[in-house]
Chain A
Amino acid sequence: MDWIMNPWPWYVGGPLIALILFLLLYFGKSFGMSSNLRTLCTICGAGNQSDFFKLDWKKQQWNLLVAAGAIIGGWIASTYLTADSSVLIHKDTIAKLHQLNIKSAGKAYLPEELFSLTNFLKPKVFSALALGGLFVGFGARYAGGCTSGHAISGLSNLQLVSLYAVIGFFIGGLFMNHFLLPYIL
């Protein structure tokens, strides 16, 4: 059972993501997680404020079901299928994070400095999480998709524009990682 309880290698995780893509396509749907954010806005009544949110959310139920599945999957995996959730990243990365005062690097699933119940309410941490979320939500809709919609679905369909989007993801991510995060953390 060790192979289930230990972290899964990339050659298990990647093909499983492709399997989700196949199942959604086979049932005549498309694979994209950030569409759920738009649907949730619609459910909250944003349709009265912008035509962008005037959609029949019942047609999006499939995608919401995938999101619900992700929640349940996260719960099952963390509760029953994980012995030690520490993420063993590269030792250089751990050393670098220690320098940036992220002492939980190598010992936790998420940095406790950002995601623990006592730390996340600190004004600096809260603003960082909020800003990150805002950019993810805004950027995903502006770009018409996120990692699943562009890097997986879009590139699989050989869409040139998805390549622009994925290059953008990496420009933004690298800039944040190398130039901004050292000041934020």
Chain B
Amino acid sequence: MFKSEAASWFRIYEMFQFKSFHMYGIIGSALAFGVLITQGIKRFQLKSAYGEPIVIPDKTKSFYRYSIGGIIFGLGWGLSGACPGPIFTLLGAGFLPILVVLVFALLGTWLYGMIMHKLPH
């Protein structure tokens, strides 16, 4: 994440400005291989390392939770320039102010857990 610069605020900013193919290339190629891997596992019913069938659970069906939740996440992504994976990467790279983002992301997660029953899903 660090070396491909996907953890850089600047790369995320540039992505939303549509000025570079870089981030689209990373997500796109990860997805292309991801589709091959996931569909390959399903088609050939590959066994896991423990010899059990690999079961990939479907996500629950809903429109509101994914679109509204997605937009809220996007606002945060665009502002902090970090999604949950890179938060950990940046912490390791020694950018201590990212702890503010991490602590408040934990608070956001906790807040969701507290009020989830009142939200449309």
Contact = CB atoms under 8 A, between A and B. Distances in A.
Interface in B68-121: 68-98, 100-114, 116, 119
Interface of A: 7-19, 21-22, 25-28, 30, 33-34, 36-38, 40-41, 44, 46, 49-50, 52-53, 67-68, 70-78, 81-82, 87, 89-90, 92-93, 96-97, 105-106, 108-111, 114-117, 120, 126, 128-148, 150-159, 161-162, 164-178, 180-181, 184
Contacts, number: 443
Interface string B1-38: 11111111111111011011111111111111111011
B4 to A, nearest CB: 3
* Size class of the B contact interface (CB-based, 8 Å): 35 or more
6 contacts: A14-B31, A15-B30, A75-B92, A133-B102, A139-B75, A174-B16
B72 to A, nearest CB: 3
Interface of B: 1-14, 16-17, 19-35, 37-39, 41, 46, 48-50, 52, 54, 56-63, 65-98, 100-114, 116, 119
A164 B63 contact: yes
B70 A165 contact: yes
A125 B56 CA distance: 41
Contacts of A34: 83-84, 109
Given A28-B52, A144-B65, A168-B73, A38 B34 contact: no
B74 A173 contact: yes
B89 A71 contact: yes
Nearest to B58: A159
Q: Is the interface of B mostly helix, strand, loop or mixed?
A: helix
Q: Which 7 A-B pairs have the closest CB atoms?
A: A168-B70, A172-B74, A13-B4, A137-B108, A135-B76, A132-B80, A139-B73
Contacts of A15: 29-30, 33
Nearest to A32: B84
B105 A136 contact: yes
A169 B111 CA distance: 20
B19 A90 contact: yes
Contacts of B77: 132, 135-136, 147, 169, 172-173, 176
